[in-house]
Structure 1
């Protein structure tokens, strides 16, 4: 476990109970306006209960070794076991890279993102995890080519490779590319809501992907925009 250099007494925590760890990515610019390598930070909260706004919290920067992803924004990340997966985002341009961060060893590993089944450069996309698979949705640069595709990619965590998810039969209804949407897995479905669609603006579309059949279906949306 990574240890934060924090006095447990300052956190109101027993020395026998390790502080809980939370991380963020720092996208600040370095000297001269150039972005430095990715910075990892740890937030230690005292006790075993839920973290609250009024509770003690102290951020500490962790030592970072190379290689590591460049700092960015509009990225997508997802935690699974002791790893945090980080995909794409924007630095000076839209990035097409895929990284895995080991929170136990404080170590970055770059994963393959160049196969035919892998996504292109993405920003404003989402990533969720379901039964050992990462599901990436949206975030493509809009053009005529991308408007004809379903912006969904699947990564097999165990085999460490991108896989072809497309079914044998074409689907009558599929969601179009979008950015800044929300995605969550509930049971055996991935729900995607809202976001921004180029040329259309903010969207209230609500979609459900059945993760057993990989079939999309629209869901009645609420009355307020996302």
Structure 2
């Protein structure tokens, strides 16, 4: 596995939500230090062409009249899932309130709608997780706005009927938490990491980071906590999790008790219930949290997130997940993108040599020169207004 591409100048975003449709990555909203999250404004949408590594910012719709109800406001801590050629955004918040309205983005027409749903709608929250299993979007955990507590509940929305249901489960569920990850492998939803509290559902600033992995069998409705072996990752929140060839991978994240950011990569085998620390080649991304990682074919695209400035003072345990500060913030918001290739070709490895040693590419065929150009040319759409980093 080789980190092959590192480009700057993409969307500078933290706690955004992104999904893959075809060969494109769609990223929605997120946070950037210095921007106004009290005022309602339409969520921004950025699209990455994974063939040429170019970002595009879609035009913002007019935010008034009937569209006020069908376009989500700018937010962070929300989730996005792709079902067929549509993307569904749920949850999240700005600095004023959280949301529990379902929004749909059509990747063909590039238009927003607000689908009509039935059933018991989950309470507004952020920091939850979402994944799709058998035509249903499963929601787990998060921090619920109106009752001011962490959740350990499961809700499901059936896209065939657009009906919500509360999922009654058996067995001991994962502890109350937010900013964990949920990954679908077959009919199982795997939960890892997140920030909990020693007082259960209540946020008393006595944080707890559970290192155990658990899964919900969505057919039987039973929670399982498998006995695992190997190099178990440190408990963390705001990491990334992705699935490739039936393995679950976990990258980065943050542990507030130790005030540590990570850039390690762990792989979990559901068949053997075994963890291993993956050694990669190339230059790894800086330690960070609240980034996005998505798999397209044999590549992982990582972008955004936040890291501490070199020499920054440690965070205080119990600090909010978002450090809403000015230019002197101890965290820097990233606009970079990294590509991890699971099985780089000989062609790609040769291009890496050309880049690393700064060899003269003028004698190369035009197709190779084009590949070198897109691998080394930064994007230029970073939102820099009052943003740090």
| TM-score after normalising by structure 1 | 0.74
1:121 aligns with 2:152: no
Change (3 A) 1:142 1:175: farther
Aligned to 1:62: 59
Aligned to 1:220: 227
Question: Cα RMSD over matched residues?
Answer: 3.0
Structure 2 unmatched runs, 5+: 1-21, 199-206, 237-389
Equivalent runs, 1:52-201 vs 2, <5 Å: 55-64=52-61, 66=67, 67-91=70-94, 92-112=96-116, 115=119, 117-141=120-144, 150-166=152-168, 171-199=170-198, 200-201=207-208
1:164, 1:25 → 2: CA distance?
A: 26
2:104, 2:216 → 1: CA distance?
A: 25
1:215, 1:32 → 2: CA distance?
A: 39
Does the residue aligned with 1:79 lie in a helix, a strand or coil? strand
Larger radius of gyration: 2
2:60, 2:191 → 1: CA distance?
A: 36
Cα distance, 1:63 vs. partner? Answer: 5.0
| TM-score after normalising by structure 2 | 0.45
Cα distance, 1:114 vs. partner? Answer: 7.5
Change (3 A) 1:219 1:189: same
Structure 1 unmatched runs, 5+: 1-18, 47-54
Does the residue aligned with 1:111 lie in a helix, a strand or coil? coil
Of 92-101 and 154-163, the range deviating more from structure 2: 92-101
Cα distance, 1:101 vs. partner? Answer: 1.1
Count of aligned pairs: 195
Residues 77, 85 of structure 1: 8 Å contact kept: yes
Higher relative contact order (CA 8 A, sep 6+): 2
Aligned to 2:377: none
Cα distance, 1:25 vs. partner? Answer: 1.8
